[in-house]
Amino acid sequence: MIRPFAEPDWEQVWPIVREVVRAGDTYTYDPAMSEADARGIWVESPPGLTVVASHDRVAGTAKMGPNKAGPGAHVATASFMVAADSRGQGIGAALCRFAIDWARAQGYAGIQFNAVAESNVAAVTVYRRLGFKIIGTVPRAFEHPTLGRVGLHVMYLEF
């Protein structure tokens, strides 16, 4: 069900990315992001990887790779997006489990999430269940469209 992104997937991935960035309630991406910019940000090249969760259609997508360069390159990061009409079915958790397995197999020391909106309770709950710890929370660092400024968690799973 989860497989590497291939070129023909983009026409199904872009509506998911667009929906998530336009909503502006989970990621620190520009809500007005263009399709070309989204492609550049979302479709990873090696050593990174982009995948899709797809049965008859693409319902979710993830990207993963080194979090930083040089002396920080042994720690991975990952991001996940699930189509609004496919949420609550465990697709995000499956993508996160995939990223954990991938990063472990690639020899990374752990996975860091740099900016998880504390209001994104569904995501925080999944991450914690999968073993991620909250390293700290930058107060009021995320401008939520309806809740105002909420904290951004830095989360980490060390292998």
Summarize as ranges the residues that interact with a copy of itself (CB under 8 A).
21, 24-25, 27-31, 33, 67-75, 109-110, 112, 114-115, 117, 134-145, 149, 152, 154, 156, 158
44 alpha-carbon distance from chain centroid: 12
Closer residue to a copy of itself, CB minimum distance, 21 or 93: 21
Pairing of strands 58-66, 2-4: unpaired
Closest separation between CB of residue 21 and a copy of itself, Å? 7
Min. distance of Cβ 8 from a copy of itself in angstroms?
Answer: 28
Tell the smallest beta-carbon distance from residue 140 to a copy of itself (Å): 6
Handedness of CA 153, 29, 112, 73 (dihedral sign): negative
Per-residue tokens: 151: 């904290």
CB nearer to a copy of itself: pick between 51 and 127: 127
Quote helix, strand, coil % in the chain, to nearest 5: 35, 35, 30
CB of 72 to a copy of itself, least distance (A): 3
Which CB atom, from 2 or from 142, has the smaller least distance to a copy of itself? 142
Residue (of 73, 77, 82) closest to 63 by Cα position: 77
User: Smaller CB distance to a copy of itself: residue 30 or 101?
Assistant: 30
Question: 3-32 burial string, b = 16+ CB within 10 Å, else e?
Answer: eebeeebbeebbebbbebbeebbbbebeee
Instruction: State in angstroms the smallest separation of the CB of 36 from a copy of itself.
Output: 15
Of 8 and 70, CB closest to a copy of itself: 70
